[in-house]
Structure formats: C-alpha cells, structure tokens
C-alpha cells in the first residue's frame, strides 16, 4: 500500500489538467506569417510547398491543406515564415483556416447552442479511417489515454455507429472506403455530426484531385468542425470540440 502511494506521488499527475492552457514543447503548430515585404516576384514558399497550401499576393497559408512539413521556412529569402507551438487551430468554417499576416489566427470555433444542448454532457464518436496513413488515427486513439482523457468531458470513442452521435473522419476518402463511410454514417442515429480530422480529410491535401478519391460525402455533409494538422495534436481536437460544445476546461 505504502509502496503504491509512493509510486503515485513520484509519478505526479499524468493528465493535462487544463488542455486550453497546455504548452506542448517541440510541437510544430500554427504557422506565423511575418509583416516583412516579400522579394519582388518571389514564389519560393509556394514552389516549395508539397500540398499547394500557400497562395501569394498576399502570402496566405491554408491550414486545411498544410501538412506542417516546414519546407516553406528555409525556402523564404525574407525570413517571413516561422512556426509556433500553438495547437488551437480548429475552426467551424473551412474559410476560417486560412492565415495571412493580417489574419494571424484561425477563426475562433463558434459555439453551437444546438449541439451544446444536445451533446454538451455526452458525445459519443465513431472513428472512420477513409484511406488515412494511420497518423491521424493514432492521435484520435490518444484522445482517451491518461494524458488527454477526453472521457472526463463526457466525450468518448465508441465501437458501433449505432451508439455514435458523431463521425470522426480521417483520411482523404479513397474510393475503396467511400461506401464503408456511407454505411457507417447511415448506421448512426439522427441527430449526428461530422468532424474532419487532419489535412487529408479536410482537403485531400497531397492527394487532392486524385482519381482514386471519392470525396462526394463531404459535399453532402458539411463538417461541424475542422481539426487541421498532419497529424493534428490531440489537444487541437480536444480544445476544438470543447469550444464547439461550449464546455469549460
Ligand atoms: S509547412 Fe505547410 S505551408 Fe509550409 S511547405 Fe509545408 S505544407 Fe506547405
Ligand atoms: S513569404 Fe518568403 S518565399 Fe514566400 S513569396 Fe514572400 S518572400 Fe518569397
């Protein structure tokens, strides 16, 4: 007994007490676009970007496409680009994910009164990997571990669509997974919501436009929340969902 107490004290608190106040060291999160003027005619960052996430004049980064590779930083001759460890990147509108020097943060997640009323005390989620690489899926798995412990907010991952209120979509939606995704969605009772997790789910990212994808599901069912990253940090997901449901941490 004493040994157990001693081990418990030496290990300290494992869970992150307030996810909104966390400071994940070494995490490459929100890009920062400085105010320095670009070199005339320069397109080095856009040329270096493997996913077409950068638009020019003025420089803008689409978090829904960005895979956080960092290649644009050394490519820039003006030192205009850098990365912070800010993980609060989720947004309720796709357009809210575009950053620029004059718009340095993603649009804040809008609290949904309807969703808060319905799911604020209990939200069960079914995860579907629609052709993902397993990066996003691993981070979704981490949501329920002792560090992030999303279940303390009444949010949990469930095995059956029949028990789910929300679909956590990862991967670019390959044609081979499109039917399975529809079957899962059809098996979920109304009301229900979609959460798009990771650059592939949000935009297709490096696979955008590939003939092997079928993204028509997202044309019919707009996500209630976009969680960018490659893969997203679990804290990005936790804080995005808490904000969406108006839950304090
Ligand atoms: S960090 Fe994002 S914006 Fe920069 S090159 Fe990589 S994908 Fe493109
Ligand atoms: S941000 Fe840097 S690399 Fe991109 S266009 Fe401006 S100067 Fe060139």
Give, in order, the Cα–Cα distances in Å from 123 to each of 76, 175, 197, 211.
Answer: 43, 29, 16, 35
Whether 98 is in the pocket of ligand 1, judged by its Cβ within 6 Å, is no
Amino acid 183: pLDDT: 97
CA distances from 40 to 56, 71, 78, 132, 231 (A): 12, 20, 11, 39, 34
CA of 241 to the centre of ligand 1 (A): 25
Cβ atoms of 51 and 206 within 8 Å: the answer is: yes
pLDDT at 150: 96
| pLDDT at position 6 | 87
Pocket test for ligand 1, best of 27, 34, 45, 71 (most atoms within 8 A of CB): 71
Ligand 1 center–CA 151 separation, angstroms: 33
At 189, list the tokens.
Answer: 């009772």
Confidence of residue 243 (pLDDT cuts 50, 70, 90): very high
- For the entire predicted model, the pTM comes to 0.94
CA distance 41 to 31: 22
Picking from 57-61, 82-86, 175-179, 245-249, which range would have the lowest pLDDT averaged per residue? 245-249
The residue contributing the CA closest to ligand 1 atom 5 is 49
Q: Is the CB of 101 under 6 A from ligand 2?
A: no
Question: What is the pLDDT of the chain when averaged over all its residues?
Answer: 96
Write the DSSP symbol of residue 187. Answer: H
Does residue 177 sit in helix, strand or coil?
helix
Task: For residue 71, give the ligand 1 atom closest to its CA.
Answer: 5
CA of 130 to the centre of ligand 2 (A): 34
Residue matched to tokens 């995490």: 27
Q: What's the pLDDT score for residue 11?
A: 78
Let me know: does 204 contact 198? Beta carbons within 8 Å: no
Does residue 76's CB lie within 6 angstroms of at least one atom of ligand 1?
Answer: no
Q: Which of 66, 76, 77, 81 to mutate to test the pocket of ligand 2 (most atoms within 8 A of CB)?
A: 76
- For residue 31, the CA-to-ligand 1 centroid distance in Å is 9
Domains and CATH numbers, the chain: 111-243 (3.40.50.12280)
Q: How far is the CA of 222 from the centre of ligand 1 (A)?
A: 25
Residues 179-189, mean pLDDT to the nearest whole number: 97
Cα–Cα distance, 45 to 69 (Å, whole number): 12
225 - beta bridge partners? 195
Using one digit for the tens of pLDDT, what is the confidence trace for 2-48?
A: 888 888 888 777 899 999 999 999 999 999 999 999 999 999 999 99
């Amino acid at each position: 007994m004493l040994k157990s107490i001693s081990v418990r004290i030496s290990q300290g608190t494992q869970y992150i007490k307030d996810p909104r106040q966390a400071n994940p060291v070494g995490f490459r999160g929100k890009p920062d676009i400085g105010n320095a003027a670009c070199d005339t005619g320069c397109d080095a960052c856009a040329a270096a970007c493997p996913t077409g996430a950068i638009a020019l004049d003025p420089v803008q980064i689409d978090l829904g496409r960005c895979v956080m590779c960092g290649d644009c930083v050394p490519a820039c001759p003006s030192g205009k680009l850098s990365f912070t460890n800010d993980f609060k990147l989720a947004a309720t509108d796709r357009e809210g994910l575009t950053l620029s020097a004059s718009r340095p943060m993603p649009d804040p997640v809008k609290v949904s009164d309807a969703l808060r009323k319905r799911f604020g005390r209990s939200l069960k989620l079914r995860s579907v990997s629609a052709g993902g690489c397993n990066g996003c899926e691993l981070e979704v798995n981490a949501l329920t571990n002792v560090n992030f412990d999303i279940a303390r907010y009444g949010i949990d991952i469930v095995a059956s669509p029949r028990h789910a209120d929300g679909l956590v979509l990862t991967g670019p939606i390959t044609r081979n997974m499109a039917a399975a995704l529809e079957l899962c969605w059809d098996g979920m009772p109304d009301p229900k919501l979609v959460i798009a997790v990771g650059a592939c789910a949000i935009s297709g990212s490096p696979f955008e436009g590939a003939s092997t994808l079928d993204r028509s599901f997202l044309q019919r069912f707009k996500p209630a929340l976009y969680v960018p990253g490659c893969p997203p940090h679990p804290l990005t997901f936790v804080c995005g969902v808490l904000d969406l449901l108006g839950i304090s941490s």
